[in-house]
Amino acid sequence: MANQHKHPVRGLRGIDDQLWRDFETAVQQAGSDRSAELRQFMEWYVGRPNAEQPIRPPAA
């Protein structure tokens, strides 16, 4: 299928709009994106080999 994503879409509940926008701004300033940062956190959180805790950017 032409419009089918390589990876399934995962939804997150309970995240207010302002938090989602602030997170988007922070990851863009870090030269990343939400998916990459969330994936890195989850890999670290579950203890995958060689996974590193994401570095939080300085407060704005």
> pLDDT tens per residue, the chain (60 residues)?
567 778 888 889 999 999 999 999 999 999 999 999 999 999 999 999 999 999 888 876
pLDDT score recorded for residue 1: 57
Residue 34: which residues within 8 A CB-CB, separation 6 or more?
23, 24, 27
pLDDT score recorded for residue 60: 64
C-alpha gyration radius of the chain: 14
Tokens of 1: 């299928």
Rounded to whole angstroms, the Cα distance separating 23 from 58 reads 13
Rounded to whole angstroms, the Cα distance separating 42 from 27 reads 16
State the residue for tokens 């407060």. Answer: 59
Tokens of 33: 């994106």
